[in-house]
Homo-oligomer: A and B are copies of this chain.
Amino acid sequence: MSMQQTAEGMTRPAGRPRSEKAEKAIIDATLDLLGEGIGVSELSIEAIAARAGVGKTTIYRRWSNKEDLVVDAMATLKPPIPLPQGASVRESLVTYLKVIAEESRHQRTRCIMNIALSDPDRHPRLAERFREVALEPRREIVRAILAKGIETGELRGDLDVDIAMAIISGAMMWQTKWVWPGEATEARLPERIVEEALKGFRQRAAEN
């Protein structure tokens, strides 16, 4: 970890406050351990404290339980994505999917997501909170892009928006996770998904 070791009472080095550095070290330690293949059930506050070079109480001051810490750690891998301001629905959706594609290229991220979310039946609160903090904000982006497209008349007024969201995000996940996993994923995947999907989503009148 990158936190500078200073004896208590010494002048603090410039930079972030100590607590913020400790927090980052704890988050990094949690992600490292998950990335090494330790399941959420096996993960212990002791192991995280040891890896982060902090005391257990430092962790408990900030997180009252392991699942909350895991959610916060995983959320750092899914930072907020700004709402794309494309000139068309096509452009905005492609921009969005390219960010998602870029994220899924990181092996550590993929690995941690797989492990931490592998067992929603055993860790229902974790899966639920992860959905809230990391997935819902992203679903709202797709919803906003589609809603704007309906408003401007670019998309059909009777579009089944929930299903359209599942088509865009689901096709992306399916293809990167199952069919072309990892490096093999084709570079034009976002464009191909959006173009095929929009053939059905668009207003008839707006077409050819």
Which residues of A come within 8 Å of B, CB atoms? 37, 39, 41, 107, 110-111, 114-115, 117-122, 127, 131, 135, 139, 156, 159-160, 162-164, 166-167, 169-175, 178-179, 181, 192-193, 195-201, 204, 208
Task: Give the complex CA separation of A171 and B200 in angstroms.
Answer: 15
State the number of copies, please.
2
Task: Give the complex CA separation of A183 and B151 in angstroms.
Answer: 33
Q: How far is the CB of A170 from chain B (nearest CB, A)?
A: 3
Task: Give the complex CA separation of A6 and B175 in angstroms.
Answer: 50
6 nearest CB pairs, A to B: A200-B200, A170-B174, A118-B118, A170-B170, A199-B200, A166-B171
Q: Which of B135, B179, B181 contacts A178 (CB 8 A)?
A: B135
Known: A111-B121, A162-B179. 4 other contacts (CB 8 A): A37-B122, A114-B118, A120-B181, A169-B174
CB distance B196 to A198 under 8 Å?
no
Contacts of A192 in B (CB 8 A): 160, 162-163
CB distance A121 to B135 under 8 Å?
no
Contacts of A208 in B (CB 8 A): 204
* Residue from A170, A178, A200 whose CB has the most chain B CB atoms within 10 Å: A170
CB distance A163 to B167 under 8 Å?
no
Contacts of A156 in B (CB 8 A): 199
